[in-house]
């Protein structure tokens, strides 16, 4: 079997039966990835400190109406707002699929304050993550309002590498500490990527990135060009169409027959990509059409960003490839002492982070072993060359489209001796993804996979008897 990470089962190793070794581990971030990493590390007997620069757990799911001083999110001096959620956001995955494997995301219908919809709003996800943190005692491991500002290697006397972590409290106090291992869980939806548009320097309109979009009201009666076609672009274009004069969606990946006015809307059009912008306020698309616009809204994704990490060039971000990383987690020469949780995208993040975390925790305790550094390096090289041969740009290194993520998840599960992905989860993800594409307006409220929901709930009785 092959996957975006190269041949999968070839390197699986049998579990080792040594007594477990406990390590002192720093986890950076208390979003979904950091919470589940802390839980798995704790379960495996490690001592864990979770650093969180915010004042509560949940990461991305902590909605704030606040936006940044630079609407494009590019000014390095701006005060960064972490979350990119907009007010109307509902999940784009059904809750059965989205939840952690052993802590299902089930609806709390008995509690009238909870959102029991199958694709709930963002505050329901935050409640779920808080419940998770409480249930597994993770919250007490978190140092809130404490930002990691530096992580670097130190040589210790026995020549065994350790990590120095410098963190800064909101009060300004800085502390330096030593850890055996670092697990980076800082999220990757806070540093905007924007589209390059010839002539944009002289174009007089306003530009904003979706990171700083919260509500449609500021776009009332405006002519808006929105760039992008991913889940948030689809949601935001519809949100804005409710108040804007016109919405023009420009997308690189658009079928020619889809270009033009959108069915069901009298003020929304689809276009190919923007070709150029001009001083007179006009924007020209690749099919030659021209629009006089007030705003360009970039729904063009995000960049990986690790401003605190100092590895002397061992790990770098090149065109949004974080590398070199073995299976998207470990730099071979620093494994298992430095790891990254949650880098893959176009995936179901929570269960994927859960499996990555189990793998990291079991490797640090030496319950299981990694291949040699040379073998891991070879595996990474093979993976990169597969991408190159397929013509896949570096920036898609961590993308796992379609059902590929399940090969990856199952490989991780096998490493850790866990069960592979549930059949219902794969089928439900597949059917929800198809409905999202074909019925973007209604997929959150109408579905035809009741049989899979029943199977999921039957499975969940293991955890909620």
Q: Which one, 98 or 133, has the nearer CB to ligand FAD?
A: 98
- Is 400 among the residues that bind ligand FAD (CB under 6 A)? no
Give the per-residue contact string, 336-355, with ligand FAD (x = CB under 6 A; - = no). ------x------xx-----
In three-state secondary structure terms, 14 is: coil
Q: How far apart are CA 38 and CA 442, in angstroms?
A: 37
Which segments of 143-273 does DSSP mark as H helices, in order?
A: 231-241
Given 5, 133, 142, 185, the residue binding ligand FAD (CB under 6 A):
185
Q: Which one, 41 or 293, has the nearer CB to ligand FAD?
A: 41
Nearest distance in Å: CB 232, ligand FAD? 5
Per-residue b or e along 96-105, where b marks 16 or more CB atoms closer than 10 Å to that residue's CB: bbbbbbebbb
Q: How far apart are CA 302 and CA 306, in angstroms?
A: 13
Chain positions 41 to 100 lying near ligand FAD, rule: CB under 6 A, are 51-54, 59-61, 82, 84-85, 89, 91-93, 98
CA separation, residue 265 to residues 183, 234, 268 (Å): 46, 13, 6
Q: How far apart are CA 157 and CA 154, in angstroms?
A: 10
Chain positions 189 to 248 lying near ligand FAD, rule: CB under 6 A, are 189, 232
Chain positions 134 to 163 lying near ligand FAD, rule: CB under 6 A, are 147-148
Nearest distance in Å: CB 305, ligand FAD? 9
Q: Which one, 4 or 31, has the nearer CB to ligand FAD?
A: 31
Q: Which one, 286 or 436, has the nearer CB to ligand FAD?
A: 436
Given 25, 95, 180, 186, the residue binding ligand FAD (CB under 6 A):
186
Q: How far apart are CA 33 and CA 369, in angstroms?
A: 22
Phi, psi for residue 444 in degrees, rounded to 5: -80, -15
249 close to 232: Cβ distance less than 8 angstroms: no
Stretch of 12-20, 31-39, 40-48, 239-247 lying at the interface with ligand FAD (CB under 6 A): 31-39
Nearest distance in Å: CB 89, ligand FAD? 6
Q: Which one, 147 or 422, has the nearer CB to ligand FAD?
A: 147
Torsion of CA 437, 439, 440, 446, to 10 degrees: -120
Pick from 269, 270, 281, 273: nearest CA to 199: 281
Nearest distance in Å: CB 170, ligand FAD? 11
Given 32, 138, 277, 363, the residue binding ligand FAD (CB under 6 A):
32
Q: How far apart are CA 8 and CA 25, in angstroms?
A: 28
CA separation, residue 316 to residues 113, 184, 245, 307 (Å): 44, 14, 44, 11
Q: Which one, 213 or 269, has the nearer CB to ligand FAD?
A: 213
Nearest distance in Å: CB 257, ligand FAD? 29
415 close to 20: Cβ distance less than 8 angstroms: no
Q: How far apart are CA 299 and CA 285, in angstroms?
A: 17
Given 100, 213, 308, 447, the residue binding ligand FAD (CB under 6 A):
308
Identify the sign of the CA torsion 97, 99, 101, 107: negative
Q: Which one, 49 or 368, has the nearer CB to ligand FAD?
A: 49
CA separation, residue 192 to residues 70, 202, 300, 305, 429 (Å): 11, 21, 8, 10, 27
Nearest distance in Å: CB 272, ligand FAD? 24
- Is 272 among the residues that bind ligand FAD (CB under 6 A)? no
- Is 31 among the residues that bind ligand FAD (CB under 6 A)? yes
Q: Which one, 188 or 367, has the nearer CB to ligand FAD?
A: 188
Given 71, 73, 120, 187, the residue binding ligand FAD (CB under 6 A):
187
Q: Which one, 27 or 293, has the nearer CB to ligand FAD?
A: 27
Contact partners, residue 272, CB within 8 Å, separation at least 6: 250, 251, 252, 254, 259, 285, 286, 287
Phi-psi region of 174 (alpha: psi -120 to 50; beta: other; left: phi over 0): beta
Size of the site for ligand FAD (CB under 6 A): 33
Nearest distance in Å: CB 324, ligand FAD? 21
Nearest distance in Å: CB 186, ligand FAD? 4
Nearest distance in Å: CB 303, ligand FAD? 13
Q: Which one, 189 or 326, has the nearer CB to ligand FAD?
A: 189
| Residue 87: CB atoms within 10 Å | 14
Q: Which residues make up the interface to ligand FAD (CB under 6 A)?
A: 28-34, 51-54, 59-61, 82, 84-85, 89, 91-93, 98, 147-148, 185-187, 189, 232, 308, 342, 349-350
């Amino acid at each position: 079997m092959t996957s975006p990470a190269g041949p999968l089962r070839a390197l699986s190793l049998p579990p080792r039966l040594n007594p477990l070794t406990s390590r002192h581990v720093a986890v950076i971030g208390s979003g979904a990835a950091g919470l589940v990493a802390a839980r798995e590390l704790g379960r495996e007997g490690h001592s864990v400190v979770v650093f969180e620069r915010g004042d509560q757990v949940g990461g991305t799911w902590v909605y704030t109406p606040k936006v940044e001083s630079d609407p494009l999110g590019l000014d390095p001096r701006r005060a960064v707002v972490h979350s990119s959620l907009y007010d109307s956001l509902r999940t784009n995955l059904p809750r059965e699929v989205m939840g952690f494997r052993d802590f299902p995301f089930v609806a709390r219908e008995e509690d009238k304050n909870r959102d029991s919809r199958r694709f709930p709003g963002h505050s329901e996800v935050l409640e779920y993550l808080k419940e998770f943190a409480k249930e597994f005692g993770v919250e007490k491991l978190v140092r809130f309002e404490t930002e990691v500002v530096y992580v670097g290697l130190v040589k210790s006397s026995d020549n065994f590498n350790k990590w120095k972590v410098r963190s800064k409290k909101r009060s300004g106090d800085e502390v330096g500490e030593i850890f055996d291992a670092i697990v980076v869980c800082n999220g990757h939806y806070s540093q905007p990527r924007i589209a390059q548009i010839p002539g944009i320097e002289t174009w007089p309109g306003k530009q904003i990135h979706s990171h700083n979009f919260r509500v449609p009201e500021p776009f009332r009666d405006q002519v808006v060009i929105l760039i992008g076609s991913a889940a948030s672009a689809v949601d935001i274009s519809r949100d804005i169409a409710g108040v804007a004069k016109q919405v023009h969606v420009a997308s690189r990946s658009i079928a020619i027959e889809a270009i033009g006015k959108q069915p069901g809307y009298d003020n929304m059009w689809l276009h190919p990509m923007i070709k150029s912008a001009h001083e007179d306020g006009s924007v020209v698309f690749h099919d030659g059409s021209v629009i006089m616009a007030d705003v360009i809204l970039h729904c063009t994704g995000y960049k990986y960003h690790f401003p605190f990490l100092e590895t002397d060039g061992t790990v770098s971000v090149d065109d949004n490839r974080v590398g070199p990383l073995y299976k998207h987690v470990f730099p071979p020469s620093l494994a298992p002492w430095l790891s990254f949780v949650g880098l893959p995208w176009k995936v179901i993040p929570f269960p994927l982070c859960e499996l990555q975390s189990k793998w990291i925790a079991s490797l640090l305790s030496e319950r299981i072993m990694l291949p040699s550094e040379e073998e891991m390096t070879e595996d990474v090289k093979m993976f990169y060359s597969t991408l190159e041969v397929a013509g896949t740009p570096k920036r898609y290194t961590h993308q796992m489209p379609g059902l590929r993520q399940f090969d990856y998840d199952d490989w991780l599960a096998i490493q850790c001796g866990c069960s592979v992905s549930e059949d219902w989860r794969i089928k439900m993800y597949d059917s929800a993804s198809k409905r999202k594409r074909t019925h973007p307006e209604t997929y959150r409220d109408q579905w035809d996979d009741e049989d899979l929901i029943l199977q999921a709930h039957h499975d969940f009785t293991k955890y909620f008897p």
